[in-house]
Amino acid sequence: MFYLGDEIATIKLMPQLRQNIITGEWVVIAPERAKRPSDFVSAESPKPSLGENCPFCLDNELYKKESLSEFETKDIYVIPNSFPAFVEDPQNCSPRSFKVEDGFYTTRPSTGGHDVIIIKKHNLQIFGFAEHIWEDLFLVAKRRYSYYRKDCNVRYSMLIYNQGARAGASIYHPHAQLMASNIIPNQISKEIHGSQSYFEENGTCVFCDLLAHEKKQRLRVVEETESFLVFTFYAARFPFETWVVPKRHSAHFEQQQVSLLRELGQLMKRVIGKLDANLKSPALNFYLHDSPATVGKADYFHWHLEIVPRVSTYGGYELGSGTIIDVLSPEEAAKYLRQKSA
């Protein structure tokens, strides 16, 4: 079945180019290259480790010596990453770019900050997080976002979570990361510029229009609460790519009320539970997009979460062209997630 707006063509499974309404990027939805949504079920569930010599367990020196005590909760603690991608250096602001190799290439110091936000219980994977752990995770992240907003070197912060080796997790112990950088990442620049251009051309917020359209069509909606809409993205780059978007305008995550983050924690428990129930504990990533520190109250942006189960891989065309082929339609993915709950 192939969706064309309000019409459904059933004659043939045919590839379709879809444009991301925010960034303008194109993806190919090619459902004829795959079988059924159930074919993406993980072959094996993650195996718990015993926790011996785990660097993140509480009896380790990292917790005893590196933990940032003012950000610790009953279930979570924070440490600086031992191998940071962005190094905190608040004494040296605005490091300039400079030329190297006879002036041919450009480089600059990679400054900002790199946190590891660690759930204390060793064998508790993301699929088993209770609501209070989700709430704690978002509240701690909110406070770290606020901390980095004051850093002269930080232009952008991003909360990420890697679940499983296929999603980039190198340590079994459950943990998120918060990466604060002195650059605005490429994908974020595309979202911000695309949202601003849409606002200038249409006089409306692209996220508000996107939410209204998805609620009207109902083809890709997975769940809705008072404050959030959960849906598979129209121009998905991955099978089951799922967005969690707040309904109200809000550019900056750290400005959110505790009550909203509590609702988000309850919602994430259910959404991750649906993915677990349907895909059998898949490797996955989620990441939080909000507006850069240099952008104030934006009338055209909503911070949001994107969840990506890692159930497919990129081939040569995706790597060579930058155009992604998704072999499962977002409509079929949403239908599958709706019919089976955690």
Mean pLDDT, to the nearest integer, of 24-42? 74
**How many other CB atoms are there within 10 angstroms of residue 156's CB atom?**
23
Mean pLDDT across the stretch 295-317? Answer: 91
The DSSP 8-state label assigned to residue 37 in this structure reads G
pLDDT bracket for residue 14 (50, 70, 90): confident
Whether 32 has a pLDDT exceeding 80, the answer reads no
Contacts 24+ apart (CB under 8 A), 75-78: 75/119, 75/120, 75/121, 75/132, 75/133, 75/136, 76/117, 76/118, 76/119, 76/120, 76/133, 76/136, 76/137, 76/140, 77/118, 77/120, 78/115, 78/116, 78/117, 78/118, 78/140, 78/144
Q: To the nearest whole percent, how much of the chain has pLDDT over 70?
A: 88
Please report which confidence band the pLDDT of residue 10 belongs to, taking 50, 70 and 90 as the band edges.
very low
The whole-number pLDDT of residue 164 equals 94
At 93, the pLDDT band (50, 70, 90 cuts) reads confident
Average pLDDT of span 324-340? 92
Query: How far out from the chain centre does Cα 328 lie?
Result: 20
d(C-alpha 342, C-alpha 28), whole Å:
30
Residue whose tokens read 């094996």: 44
SS3 6: coil
* Angstrom distance (rounded) from CA 268 to CA 7: 32
Res. 178: pLDDT tops 70:
yes
DSSP-derived secondary structure for 58-125: TTSHHHHHH--GGG--SSEEEEE-SS-SSB--TTS-SPPPEEETTTTEEE---BEEEEEEEES-TT--
Of the chain, the percentage scoring pLDDT greater than 90 comes to: 76
Mean pLDDT of 236-260: 96
Question: What DSSP designation does 242 have?
Answer: E
pLDDT greater at residue 57 or residue 341: 57
The pairing of strands 26-29 and 324-326 is: parallel
CB 182 within 8 A of CB 95: yes
Q: Between 90 and 128, where is the model more confident?
A: 128
User: Band of the pLDDT at 94, cuts 50, 70, 90?
Assistant: low
Per DSSP, the three-state class of 283 is coil
Can you list the domains of the chain with their CATH numbers? 2-45+185-339 (3.30.428.10), 61-181 (3.30.428.10)
Question: Model confidence over 192-217: pLDDT tens digits?
Answer: 999 999 999 999 999 999 999 999 99
8-state DSSP, 17: E
Mean pLDDT of the chain: 90
Residue 210 to residue 213: CA distance in whole angstroms = 5
- Helices then strands, each counted (H, E), the chain: 7, 16
| Residues 44-85: tens digit of each pLDDT | 555 555 566 899 999 998 999 999 999 999 999 999 999 999
| DSSP category for residue 240 | T
Q: What is the pLDDT of residue 98?
A: 85
Closest CA to 120 of 46, 79, 80, 174: 174
**Ramachandran assignment for 2, one of left (phi > 0), alpha (psi -120 to 50 degrees), beta (any other):** beta
Number of Cα atoms under 13 Å in the Cβ half of residue 184? 15
Range list of H helices, the chain: 61-66, 131-149, 186-202, 206-217, 258-279, 316-321, 330-339
Q: What pLDDT sits at residue 206?
A: 97
Over range 25-37, report the average pLDDT.
Answer: 76
